[in-house]
Amino acid sequence: MSSRSRRQHSKPASDSKSEAEKILELMYEQGKAQFGSAMKSFWLYSGDFCPGCLARPIDRIKFKGKEDALSINGFMYRPRGVLIGYFLCEVCANYIFKEVEKHPYKQTPLHSDIERNLAEAYHKHLSSLDA
């Protein structure tokens, strides 16, 4: 199977891509250039709740107190070679922004929660494809 067909399999059937999907595809291409065959596909988490707290809806956030923004992020789920794109709620995004300022290049406990929740969501997604 070519990498192109694998990527298409990971995208929604709709021909029109959302801005998030376009950004995730760019992130995937960058990762593919950097990590080669370790990157096999990508998937956009589309749950109703933030994968960090699993409590608040994903919505626009105030970035640096000014503009509405979305916090799009990527997590490389290594066991499957899948780049998982996701959004955070304002509370989780701001927490990470503040922690990164205090401790650059350090993973927070929230990052571990996000990764665990995204891996579980991805496995549920794969199970739904088998149904």
Q: Kindly state the average pLDDT of the residues 94-120.
A: 93
21 vs 77: CA distance, rounded Å? 17
Query: Nearest to residue 25, comparing CAs of 46, 13, 39?
Result: 39
Q: Kindly state the average pLDDT of the residues 122-127.
A: 95
pTM confidence score? 0.79
Burial of 9 (0-12, 13-18, 19+ CB in 10 A): exposed
pLDDT of residue 115 exceeding 90, the answer is yes
How many distinct structural domains can be found in the chain?
Answer: 1
Residue with tokens 């969501």: 121
* Banded model confidence at residue 131, pLDDT cuts 50, 70, 90: low
> What pLDDT digit, counting tens, does each position of 28-87 carry?
999 999 989 999 999 999 998 999 999 999 888 877 777 788 778 999 999 999 999 999
Instruction: Supply φ then ψ for residue 66, to 5 degrees.
Output: -115, -75
41 vs 4: CA distance, rounded Å? 9
**Domain hosting residue 86, numbered range:** 3-130
Q: Which pLDDT score, from 0 to 100, does residue 17 have?
A: 62
Query: Nearest to residue 41, comparing CAs of 12, 79, 3?
Result: 3
